[in-house]
Amino acid sequence: MPLDINEDNLKHGVLGLVMALVEVIADALKHQAYRRMEGGSLTDLEVERLGLALMELDAAIDGIKEQQGITESVKAVRDGLDNIVNDVVNKLINPEQWEEVAREQRN
Amino acid sequence: MNYLYIAMALREAGREINERNMRKVITATDVKVNEAELRFFISAMSILSMPNPDNGGVKSHSPIEKEQSLQQQWKFNESESAGMPEDAEREQILPLAKTPVEEDIERIAPAESRVVHCVEPTDSKDALYVYGIADKGVSVNLGPIGLDESEVYTIPYNSICAVVHDCLPIPYQSNDNEVVKIWVLTHQKVLDVVAEKFDAAILPMGFDTIIRGKEKLERKQPVKDWLEQNYEDLIKKMTRIKGRQEFGVQVLWDPKIIAGLITETDDEIRALDEEMKSKPKGMAFMYKQKLEKLVKQKMEAMANERFKEFYASIKGRVDDILVERTKKPENGMQMLMNLSCLVEKDAVQGLGEELERIEGMNGFFVRFTGPWPPYSFVTAAKI
Protein backbone atom coordinates (compact mmCIF):
# COMPACT_ATOMS: atom_id res chain seq x y z
CA MET A 1 0.00 0.00 0.00
CA PRO A 2 1.61 3.26 -1.06
CA LEU A 3 1.78 6.00 1.54
CA ASP A 4 0.37 9.30 0.50
CA ILE A 5 1.49 11.85 3.04
CA ASN A 6 0.56 15.47 3.31
CA GLU A 7 0.01 17.64 6.34
CA ASP A 8 -3.64 16.86 6.53
CA ASN A 9 -3.66 13.13 6.25
CA LEU A 10 -0.61 12.92 8.49
CA LYS A 11 -2.67 14.52 11.22
CA HIS A 12 -5.53 12.16 10.52
CA GLY A 13 -3.25 9.18 10.48
CA VAL A 14 -1.19 9.88 13.57
CA LEU A 15 -3.96 11.36 15.67
CA GLY A 16 -6.32 8.65 14.52
CA LEU A 17 -3.84 6.01 15.55
CA VAL A 18 -3.23 7.62 18.93
CA MET A 19 -6.91 8.02 19.67
CA ALA A 20 -7.63 4.49 18.58
CA LEU A 21 -5.04 3.28 21.09
CA VAL A 22 -6.51 5.49 23.79
CA GLU A 23 -9.91 4.02 23.06
CA VAL A 24 -8.57 0.51 23.28
CA ILE A 25 -7.02 1.31 26.65
CA ALA A 26 -10.24 2.94 27.83
CA ASP A 27 -12.12 -0.19 26.83
CA ALA A 28 -9.69 -2.31 28.78
CA LEU A 29 -10.13 -0.04 31.80
CA LYS A 30 -13.90 -0.29 31.55
CA HIS A 31 -13.67 -4.02 31.32
CA GLN A 32 -11.54 -4.20 34.46
CA ALA A 33 -13.80 -1.78 36.32
CA TYR A 34 -16.80 -3.86 35.36
CA ARG A 35 -15.19 -7.04 36.58
CA ARG A 36 -14.35 -5.49 39.91
CA MET A 37 -17.85 -4.17 40.31
CA GLU A 38 -19.30 -7.59 39.53
CA GLY A 39 -16.75 -9.26 41.79
CA GLY A 40 -18.09 -7.17 44.67
CA SER A 41 -14.72 -5.82 45.77
CA LEU A 42 -15.80 -2.20 45.39
CA THR A 43 -18.01 -0.11 47.64
CA ASP A 44 -20.94 1.77 46.14
CA LEU A 45 -19.04 4.99 46.47
CA GLU A 46 -16.06 3.57 44.63
CA VAL A 47 -18.24 2.28 41.84
CA GLU A 48 -19.80 5.70 41.52
CA ARG A 49 -16.42 7.42 41.33
CA LEU A 50 -15.09 4.89 38.86
CA GLY A 51 -18.16 5.25 36.71
CA LEU A 52 -17.90 9.02 36.68
CA ALA A 53 -14.22 8.93 35.77
CA LEU A 54 -14.81 6.51 32.91
CA MET A 55 -17.73 8.55 31.72
CA GLU A 56 -15.60 11.69 31.61
CA LEU A 57 -12.90 9.78 29.75
CA ASP A 58 -15.45 8.72 27.16
CA ALA A 59 -16.73 12.26 26.80
CA ALA A 60 -13.19 13.59 26.46
CA ILE A 61 -12.33 11.05 23.77
CA ASP A 62 -15.48 11.84 21.84
CA GLY A 63 -14.81 15.56 22.19
CA ILE A 64 -11.29 15.31 20.81
CA LYS A 65 -12.39 13.12 17.95
CA GLU A 66 -15.05 15.59 16.97
CA GLN A 67 -12.84 18.67 17.34
CA GLN A 68 -10.12 17.19 15.22
CA GLY A 69 -12.46 15.58 12.74
CA ILE A 70 -10.78 12.21 13.13
CA THR A 71 -13.81 10.09 13.99
CA GLU A 72 -13.53 8.26 10.70
CA SER A 73 -9.82 7.59 10.86
CA VAL A 74 -10.12 6.27 14.41
CA LYS A 75 -12.86 3.97 13.27
CA ALA A 76 -10.73 2.80 10.36
CA VAL A 77 -7.82 1.92 12.67
CA ARG A 78 -10.09 0.08 15.06
CA ASP A 79 -11.84 -1.81 12.30
CA GLY A 80 -8.43 -2.80 11.00
CA LEU A 81 -7.45 -4.09 14.43
CA ASP A 82 -10.75 -5.93 14.75
CA ASN A 83 -10.20 -7.61 11.42
CA ILE A 84 -6.74 -8.77 12.42
CA VAL A 85 -8.05 -10.24 15.64
CA ASN A 86 -10.95 -11.83 13.80
CA ASP A 87 -8.58 -13.45 11.36
CA VAL A 88 -6.41 -14.84 14.12
CA VAL A 89 -9.36 -16.18 16.09
CA ASN A 90 -10.86 -17.59 12.95
CA LYS A 91 -7.66 -19.43 12.18
CA LEU A 92 -7.40 -20.78 15.69
CA ILE A 93 -10.89 -22.22 15.67
CA ASN A 94 -10.68 -23.51 12.09
CA PRO A 95 -7.32 -25.23 11.83
CA GLU A 96 -8.33 -26.78 8.51
CA GLN A 97 -7.88 -23.35 6.95
CA TRP A 98 -4.16 -23.51 7.59
CA GLU A 99 -3.76 -25.99 4.81
CA GLU A 100 -5.67 -23.77 2.43
CA VAL A 101 -3.55 -20.76 3.28
CA ALA A 102 -0.34 -22.73 2.99
CA ARG A 103 -1.40 -23.95 -0.43
CA GLU A 104 -2.15 -20.43 -1.59
CA GLN A 105 1.20 -19.24 -0.41
CA ARG A 106 2.98 -22.06 -2.19
CA ASN A 107 1.23 -21.17 -5.39
CA MET B 1 19.47 -21.76 5.50
CA ASN B 2 22.07 -24.48 5.02
CA TYR B 3 19.87 -26.55 2.76
CA LEU B 4 19.93 -23.78 0.25
CA TYR B 5 23.71 -23.93 0.04
CA ILE B 6 23.56 -27.68 -0.35
CA ALA B 7 21.06 -27.29 -3.16
CA MET B 8 23.28 -24.70 -4.83
CA ALA B 9 26.26 -27.00 -4.47
CA LEU B 10 24.30 -29.85 -6.02
CA ARG B 11 23.31 -27.66 -8.88
CA GLU B 12 26.85 -26.51 -9.44
CA ALA B 13 27.87 -30.14 -9.53
CA GLY B 14 25.17 -30.78 -12.10
CA ARG B 15 23.33 -33.19 -9.84
CA GLU B 16 19.62 -33.45 -9.49
CA ILE B 17 18.23 -31.64 -6.50
CA ASN B 18 16.03 -34.18 -4.82
CA GLU B 19 15.54 -35.50 -1.36
CA ARG B 20 17.98 -38.37 -1.75
CA ASN B 21 20.87 -36.25 -2.96
CA MET B 22 20.19 -33.64 -0.34
CA ARG B 23 20.15 -36.32 2.31
CA LYS B 24 23.45 -37.73 1.11
CA VAL B 25 25.18 -34.41 1.38
CA ILE B 26 23.70 -33.63 4.76
CA THR B 27 24.66 -36.97 6.28
CA ALA B 28 28.11 -36.64 4.71
CA THR B 29 28.60 -33.48 6.70
CA ASP B 30 27.73 -35.39 9.88
CA VAL B 31 24.67 -33.32 10.51
CA LYS B 32 21.42 -34.92 11.50
CA VAL B 33 18.74 -34.52 8.87
CA ASN B 34 15.90 -32.35 10.01
CA GLU B 35 13.05 -34.22 8.32
CA ALA B 36 10.43 -31.52 8.48
CA GLU B 37 12.77 -28.83 7.31
CA LEU B 38 14.10 -30.90 4.45
CA ARG B 39 10.62 -31.76 3.21
CA PHE B 40 9.58 -28.19 3.40
CA PHE B 41 12.68 -27.16 1.54
CA ILE B 42 12.15 -29.67 -1.24
CA SER B 43 8.55 -28.56 -1.61
CA ALA B 44 9.63 -24.98 -1.70
CA MET B 45 12.25 -25.67 -4.34
CA SER B 46 9.84 -27.62 -6.48
CA ILE B 47 7.58 -24.68 -6.99
CA LEU B 48 10.32 -22.35 -8.00
CA SER B 49 10.43 -23.60 -11.54
CA MET B 50 13.82 -22.10 -12.07
CA PRO B 51 15.43 -22.59 -15.42
CA ASN B 52 18.70 -24.48 -15.76
CA PRO B 53 21.77 -22.29 -15.85
CA ASP B 54 22.28 -23.16 -19.48
CA ASN B 55 18.96 -22.02 -20.80
CA GLY B 56 19.18 -18.34 -20.18
CA GLY B 57 16.79 -15.93 -18.54
CA VAL B 58 13.95 -16.74 -16.22
CA LYS B 59 11.32 -15.79 -18.71
CA SER B 60 12.40 -18.15 -21.45
CA HIS B 61 9.56 -19.83 -23.26
CA SER B 62 10.81 -23.32 -23.04
CA PRO B 63 8.89 -26.04 -24.83
CA ILE B 64 6.74 -28.38 -22.81
CA GLU B 65 9.17 -31.27 -22.83
CA LYS B 66 11.79 -29.16 -21.20
CA GLU B 67 9.38 -27.79 -18.74
CA GLN B 68 8.33 -31.27 -17.77
CA SER B 69 11.86 -32.42 -17.30
CA LEU B 70 12.39 -29.34 -15.21
CA GLN B 71 9.45 -30.24 -13.07
CA GLN B 72 10.85 -33.73 -12.79
CA GLN B 73 14.15 -32.38 -11.70
CA TRP B 74 12.65 -30.81 -8.65
CA LYS B 75 10.58 -33.80 -7.97
CA PHE B 76 10.30 -34.97 -4.45
CA ASN B 77 11.88 -38.36 -4.35
CA GLU B 78 9.01 -40.81 -4.30
CA SER B 79 10.74 -43.77 -2.75
CA GLU B 80 11.67 -41.81 0.31
CA SER B 81 8.54 -39.85 0.67
CA ALA B 82 6.64 -42.26 2.85
CA GLY B 83 6.55 -39.73 5.61
CA MET B 84 4.73 -37.16 3.56
CA PRO B 85 1.40 -36.53 5.20
CA GLU B 86 -0.80 -36.39 2.11
CA ASP B 87 -0.39 -37.44 -1.44
CA ALA B 88 -2.40 -34.43 -2.33
CA GLU B 89 0.35 -32.22 -1.14
CA ARG B 90 2.77 -33.68 -3.62
CA GLU B 91 0.30 -33.33 -6.41
CA GLN B 92 -0.11 -29.70 -5.73
CA ILE B 93 3.56 -29.26 -6.17
CA LEU B 94 3.84 -31.19 -9.37
CA PRO B 95 0.80 -30.43 -11.42
CA LEU B 96 2.36 -31.72 -14.60
CA ALA B 97 3.86 -34.88 -13.26
CA LYS B 98 0.64 -36.48 -12.16
CA THR B 99 -0.23 -39.74 -13.78
CA PRO B 100 -3.91 -40.54 -13.54
CA VAL B 101 -5.87 -38.39 -15.90
CA GLU B 102 -8.60 -37.44 -13.46
CA GLU B 103 -6.04 -35.84 -11.25
CA ASP B 104 -5.25 -33.34 -13.94
CA ILE B 105 -8.41 -31.59 -12.97
CA GLU B 106 -7.76 -28.54 -10.93
CA ARG B 107 -10.61 -26.65 -9.55
CA ILE B 108 -9.62 -23.15 -8.76
CA ALA B 109 -12.83 -21.29 -8.40
CA PRO B 110 -13.10 -18.56 -7.38
CA ALA B 111 -10.17 -17.69 -9.54
CA GLU B 112 -9.02 -14.71 -7.55
CA SER B 113 -8.31 -16.69 -4.44
CA ARG B 114 -6.32 -19.60 -5.80
CA VAL B 115 -3.77 -19.97 -8.51
CA VAL B 116 -2.63 -23.32 -9.71
CA HIS B 117 0.56 -24.00 -11.58
CA CYS B 118 3.74 -22.16 -12.07
CA VAL B 119 3.73 -23.18 -15.68
CA GLU B 120 5.45 -21.23 -18.33
CA PRO B 121 3.23 -20.37 -21.23
CA THR B 122 3.36 -22.42 -24.39
CA ASP B 123 1.77 -21.64 -27.69
CA SER B 124 -0.08 -24.85 -28.37
CA LYS B 125 -3.69 -25.10 -27.28
CA ASP B 126 -3.34 -28.69 -26.22
CA ALA B 127 -5.46 -28.53 -23.10
CA LEU B 128 -9.22 -28.38 -22.68
CA TYR B 129 -11.22 -26.03 -20.55
CA VAL B 130 -14.20 -27.94 -19.19
CA TYR B 131 -17.42 -26.05 -18.47
CA GLY B 132 -19.39 -29.04 -17.34
CA ILE B 133 -20.85 -32.42 -18.21
CA ALA B 134 -24.27 -32.76 -19.85
CA ASP B 135 -26.37 -35.91 -19.92
CA LYS B 136 -26.66 -36.10 -23.69
CA GLY B 137 -24.21 -38.10 -25.75
CA VAL B 138 -23.94 -35.69 -28.66
CA SER B 139 -21.14 -33.99 -30.47
CA VAL B 140 -22.11 -30.42 -31.25
CA ASN B 141 -20.30 -27.22 -32.05
CA LEU B 142 -21.82 -24.35 -30.12
CA GLY B 143 -19.87 -21.55 -31.74
CA PRO B 144 -17.68 -18.85 -30.21
CA ILE B 145 -19.58 -18.42 -26.95
CA GLY B 146 -16.78 -19.41 -24.56
CA LEU B 147 -14.26 -17.44 -22.56
CA ASP B 148 -12.63 -14.84 -24.79
CA GLU B 149 -14.91 -16.03 -27.60
CA SER B 150 -13.44 -19.49 -27.78
CA GLU B 151 -15.21 -22.10 -29.86
CA VAL B 152 -17.22 -24.26 -27.51
CA TYR B 153 -18.00 -27.86 -28.46
CA THR B 154 -18.91 -31.12 -26.84
CA ILE B 155 -16.99 -34.36 -26.51
CA PRO B 156 -19.42 -37.26 -26.23
CA TYR B 157 -18.95 -40.48 -24.40
CA ASN B 158 -21.82 -42.95 -24.30
CA SER B 159 -24.85 -40.99 -23.06
CA ILE B 160 -22.98 -38.00 -21.66
CA CYS B 161 -20.74 -35.30 -23.04
CA ALA B 162 -18.23 -32.79 -21.79
CA VAL B 163 -18.66 -29.15 -22.78
CA VAL B 164 -15.22 -27.75 -23.58
CA HIS B 165 -13.06 -25.37 -25.51
CA ASP B 166 -9.42 -25.67 -26.56
CA CYS B 167 -7.09 -23.71 -24.37
CA LEU B 168 -3.52 -23.30 -23.31
CA PRO B 169 -2.43 -25.52 -20.44
CA ILE B 170 -2.47 -22.56 -18.09
CA PRO B 171 -5.30 -21.36 -15.91
CA TYR B 172 -7.22 -18.24 -16.73
CA GLN B 173 -6.13 -15.63 -14.25
CA SER B 174 -6.09 -11.90 -14.11
CA ASN B 175 -5.57 -9.21 -11.55
CA ASP B 176 -8.38 -7.23 -13.04
CA ASN B 177 -11.54 -8.15 -11.19
CA GLU B 178 -13.70 -6.97 -14.07
CA VAL B 179 -12.01 -9.40 -16.43
CA VAL B 180 -12.48 -12.26 -13.98
CA LYS B 181 -16.10 -11.29 -13.54
CA ILE B 182 -16.70 -11.44 -17.27
CA TRP B 183 -15.02 -14.84 -17.45
CA VAL B 184 -17.08 -16.25 -14.64
CA LEU B 185 -20.28 -14.86 -16.14
CA THR B 186 -19.38 -16.33 -19.51
CA HIS B 187 -18.68 -19.68 -17.90
CA GLN B 188 -22.12 -19.50 -16.37
CA LYS B 189 -23.74 -18.44 -19.62
CA VAL B 190 -22.26 -21.32 -21.56
CA LEU B 191 -23.83 -23.73 -19.09
CA ASP B 192 -27.16 -21.95 -19.44
CA VAL B 193 -27.00 -22.20 -23.22
CA VAL B 194 -26.21 -25.90 -23.06
CA ALA B 195 -28.98 -26.57 -20.56
CA GLU B 196 -31.50 -24.79 -22.74
CA LYS B 197 -30.37 -26.17 -26.05
CA PHE B 198 -30.21 -29.82 -25.00
CA ASP B 199 -32.76 -29.69 -22.24
CA ALA B 200 -30.07 -31.52 -20.34
CA ALA B 201 -29.04 -31.95 -16.74
CA ILE B 202 -25.69 -30.30 -16.32
CA LEU B 203 -22.96 -31.15 -13.92
CA PRO B 204 -21.18 -27.83 -13.71
CA MET B 205 -17.43 -27.64 -13.22
CA GLY B 206 -15.84 -24.83 -11.30
CA PHE B 207 -14.33 -21.91 -13.13
CA ASP B 208 -10.88 -22.73 -14.50
CA THR B 209 -11.24 -26.49 -14.63
CA ILE B 210 -8.63 -27.46 -17.16
CA ILE B 211 -7.80 -30.98 -18.28
CA ARG B 212 -4.56 -31.86 -19.86
CA GLY B 213 -3.07 -35.22 -20.63
CA LYS B 214 0.36 -36.20 -19.48
CA GLU B 215 1.72 -36.97 -22.89
CA LYS B 216 0.97 -35.27 -26.11
CA LEU B 217 -1.91 -37.51 -26.96
CA GLU B 218 -4.75 -36.52 -29.07
CA ARG B 219 -6.17 -33.56 -27.20
CA LYS B 220 -9.61 -35.00 -26.58
CA GLN B 221 -8.36 -38.31 -25.29
CA PRO B 222 -7.81 -37.36 -21.65
CA VAL B 223 -11.32 -36.00 -21.41
CA LYS B 224 -12.75 -39.13 -22.98
CA ASP B 225 -10.76 -41.29 -20.62
CA TRP B 226 -11.89 -39.25 -17.71
CA LEU B 227 -15.54 -39.52 -18.75
CA GLU B 228 -15.11 -43.24 -19.23
CA GLN B 229 -13.45 -43.86 -15.91
CA ASN B 230 -15.95 -41.83 -13.98
CA TYR B 231 -18.97 -42.68 -16.07
CA GLU B 232 -21.03 -44.38 -13.40
CA ASP B 233 -20.20 -41.83 -10.80
CA LEU B 234 -21.06 -38.99 -13.13
CA ILE B 235 -24.36 -40.58 -14.03
CA LYS B 236 -25.14 -41.03 -10.37
CA LYS B 237 -24.36 -37.39 -9.65
CA MET B 238 -26.35 -36.31 -12.65
CA THR B 239 -29.40 -38.24 -11.47
CA ARG B 240 -29.09 -36.62 -8.10
CA ILE B 241 -29.16 -33.12 -9.52
CA LYS B 242 -31.52 -33.71 -12.42
CA GLY B 243 -34.44 -31.31 -12.28
CA ARG B 244 -32.88 -29.57 -9.32
CA GLN B 245 -31.31 -26.18 -8.95
CA GLU B 246 -29.11 -24.53 -6.43
CA PHE B 247 -30.23 -21.51 -4.47
CA GLY B 248 -28.29 -19.36 -2.11
CA VAL B 249 -30.09 -18.39 1.06
CA GLN B 250 -28.67 -15.84 3.43
CA VAL B 251 -30.48 -14.70 6.52
CA LEU B 252 -29.42 -11.41 8.03
CA TRP B 253 -30.64 -9.32 10.86
CA ASP B 254 -30.32 -5.73 11.84
CA PRO B 255 -28.67 -5.82 15.27
CA LYS B 256 -30.13 -2.44 16.20
CA ILE B 257 -33.71 -3.50 15.65
CA ILE B 258 -33.15 -6.84 17.36
CA ALA B 259 -31.44 -5.21 20.35
CA GLY B 260 -34.40 -2.82 20.60
CA LEU B 261 -36.83 -5.70 20.53
CA ILE B 262 -34.97 -7.61 23.19
CA THR B 263 -34.72 -4.57 25.42
CA GLU B 264 -38.45 -4.09 25.22
CA THR B 265 -39.50 -7.66 25.77
CA ASP B 266 -36.94 -9.27 28.03
CA ASP B 267 -37.90 -9.07 31.72
CA GLU B 268 -34.38 -9.35 33.04
CA ILE B 269 -33.22 -6.48 30.88
CA ARG B 270 -36.18 -4.32 31.73
CA ALA B 271 -35.61 -4.84 35.42
CA LEU B 272 -31.96 -3.85 35.03
CA ASP B 273 -32.96 -0.83 33.00
CA GLU B 274 -35.31 0.29 35.76
CA GLU B 275 -32.67 -0.22 38.40
CA MET B 276 -30.21 1.82 36.38
CA LYS B 277 -32.50 4.80 36.27
CA SER B 278 -32.58 5.00 40.05
CA LYS B 279 -28.78 5.07 40.38
CA PRO B 280 -26.51 8.10 40.51
CA LYS B 281 -24.69 9.09 37.34
CA GLY B 282 -21.41 7.24 37.78
CA MET B 283 -23.01 4.02 38.82
CA ALA B 284 -25.54 4.27 36.02
CA PHE B 285 -22.65 4.38 33.60
CA MET B 286 -21.37 1.11 34.96
CA TYR B 287 -24.85 -0.36 34.81
CA LYS B 288 -25.09 0.64 31.21
CA GLN B 289 -22.18 -1.61 30.42
CA LYS B 290 -23.78 -4.42 32.31
CA LEU B 291 -26.91 -3.85 30.31
CA GLU B 292 -25.05 -3.86 27.00
CA LYS B 293 -23.34 -7.11 27.88
CA LEU B 294 -26.61 -8.70 28.82
CA VAL B 295 -28.25 -7.59 25.59
CA LYS B 296 -25.35 -9.00 23.61
CA GLN B 297 -25.63 -12.29 25.42
CA LYS B 298 -29.34 -12.51 24.79
CA MET B 299 -28.80 -11.68 21.14
CA GLU B 300 -26.28 -14.46 20.78
CA ALA B 301 -28.65 -16.92 22.37
CA MET B 302 -31.38 -15.71 20.07
CA ALA B 303 -29.19 -15.99 16.99
CA ASN B 304 -28.44 -19.56 17.93
CA GLU B 305 -32.05 -20.38 18.45
CA ARG B 306 -33.17 -18.75 15.22
CA PHE B 307 -30.44 -20.52 13.29
CA LYS B 308 -31.70 -23.87 14.49
CA GLU B 309 -35.28 -22.93 13.77
CA PHE B 310 -34.63 -21.62 10.27
CA TYR B 311 -32.29 -24.46 9.43
CA ALA B 312 -34.88 -27.05 10.40
CA SER B 313 -37.68 -25.37 8.49
CA ILE B 314 -35.56 -24.84 5.37
CA LYS B 315 -34.13 -28.33 5.47
CA GLY B 316 -37.64 -29.75 5.35
CA ARG B 317 -38.26 -27.95 2.08
CA VAL B 318 -35.12 -28.77 0.11
CA ASP B 319 -33.29 -31.88 -1.09
CA ASP B 320 -29.92 -31.02 0.26
CA ILE B 321 -28.43 -28.25 2.26
CA LEU B 322 -24.91 -26.98 2.86
CA VAL B 323 -23.95 -24.52 5.56
CA GLU B 324 -21.46 -22.07 4.14
CA ARG B 325 -19.28 -19.77 6.12
CA THR B 326 -21.05 -16.52 6.96
CA LYS B 327 -19.55 -13.52 5.30
CA LYS B 328 -18.77 -10.19 6.77
CA PRO B 329 -21.92 -8.21 6.33
CA GLU B 330 -22.14 -4.68 5.12
CA ASN B 331 -24.08 -1.63 6.28
CA GLY B 332 -24.36 -2.68 9.89
CA MET B 333 -26.16 -5.94 9.26
CA GLN B 334 -25.16 -9.26 10.70
CA MET B 335 -25.36 -12.52 8.80
CA LEU B 336 -26.99 -15.28 10.77
CA MET B 337 -26.69 -18.02 8.21
CA ASN B 338 -25.44 -18.63 4.72
CA LEU B 339 -26.82 -21.74 3.04
CA SER B 340 -26.60 -23.42 -0.32
CA CYS B 341 -29.73 -25.40 -1.03
CA LEU B 342 -30.38 -28.04 -3.66
CA VAL B 343 -34.02 -27.68 -4.60
CA GLU B 344 -36.33 -29.55 -6.92
CA LYS B 345 -37.90 -27.19 -9.44
CA ASP B 346 -41.41 -27.77 -8.13
CA ALA B 347 -40.35 -27.22 -4.55
CA VAL B 348 -38.91 -23.76 -5.07
CA GLN B 349 -42.18 -22.09 -4.24
CA GLY B 350 -42.40 -23.81 -0.88
CA LEU B 351 -38.94 -22.58 -0.03
CA GLY B 352 -39.85 -19.10 -1.22
CA GLU B 353 -42.88 -19.02 1.05
CA GLU B 354 -40.86 -20.05 4.06
CA LEU B 355 -38.29 -17.37 3.29
CA GLU B 356 -41.04 -14.81 2.97
CA ARG B 357 -42.21 -15.76 6.43
CA ILE B 358 -38.70 -15.20 7.76
CA GLU B 359 -38.39 -11.91 5.90
CA GLY B 360 -41.68 -10.87 7.49
CA MET B 361 -40.20 -11.14 10.98
CA ASN B 362 -39.21 -7.82 12.47
CA GLY B 363 -35.52 -7.06 12.01
CA PHE B 364 -34.84 -10.05 9.74
CA PHE B 365 -33.84 -9.93 6.11
CA VAL B 366 -33.41 -12.67 3.56
CA ARG B 367 -31.20 -12.74 0.50
CA PHE B 368 -32.31 -15.32 -1.97
CA THR B 369 -30.20 -15.94 -5.05
CA GLY B 370 -30.49 -18.36 -7.92
CA PRO B 371 -31.28 -20.51 -9.64
CA TRP B 372 -27.70 -21.59 -10.14
CA PRO B 373 -26.41 -24.78 -11.61
CA PRO B 374 -25.68 -26.92 -8.56
CA TYR B 375 -22.02 -25.97 -8.25
CA SER B 376 -21.85 -26.48 -4.52
CA PHE B 377 -23.13 -30.00 -4.74
CA VAL B 378 -20.94 -31.35 -7.51
CA THR B 379 -17.55 -29.78 -7.01
CA ALA B 380 -14.71 -31.56 -8.75
CA ALA B 381 -13.42 -32.57 -5.35
CA LYS B 382 -16.51 -34.66 -4.86
CA ILE B 383 -16.29 -36.30 -8.25
- Is there a contact between A107 and B289 if contact means CB atoms under 8 Å apart? no
DSSP conformation class of B50: P
pLDDT (tens digit, 9 = 90+) per residue, A3-62? Answer: 566 666 777 778 888 999 999 999 999 999 888 888 888 888 888 998 999 999 999 999
- Is there a contact between B281 and A55 if contact means CB atoms under 8 Å apart? yes
SS (HEC) of A22-90: HHHHHHHHHHHHHHHHHHCCCCHHHHHHHHHHHHHHHHHHHHHHHHHCCHHHHHHHHHHHHHHHHHHHH
- Is there a contact between A52 and B114 if contact means CB atoms under 8 Å apart? no
B47: nearest CB among A34, A44, A106: A106
pLDDT (tens digit, 9 = 90+) per residue, A68-84? Answer: 888 888 888 888 888 88
Whether the CB of B281 is below 8 Å from some CB of chain A: the reply is yes
State residue A1's pLDDT score. 52
ipTM of this complex? 0.71
**What phi and psi values does residue B305 have, to the nearest 5 degrees?**
-60, -50
**Nearest CA of chain B to the CA of A83: how many Å?**
10
**Nearest CA of chain B to the CA of A38: how many Å?**
9
3-state class of B128 per DSSP? strand
**Model confidence, pTM:** 0.55
State residue B213's pLDDT score. 65
Q: B266: buried, middle or exposed (CB in 10 Å: 19+, 13-18, 0-12)?
A: middle
Which stretches of chain B drop beneath a pLDDT of 70? 1-2, 14, 29-31, 40-41, 43-125, 213-219, 329, 379-383
Interface probe for B, chosen from A41, A103, A105 (most Cβ of B below 10 Å), is A103
**Nearest CA of chain A to the CA of B46: how many Å?**
10
Whether the CB of B20 is below 8 Å from some CB of chain A: the reply is no
Q: How many CB pairs under 8 A join A and B?
A: 52
B285: nearest CB among A44, A51, A103: A51
State residue B103's pLDDT score. 29
State residue B112's pLDDT score. 33
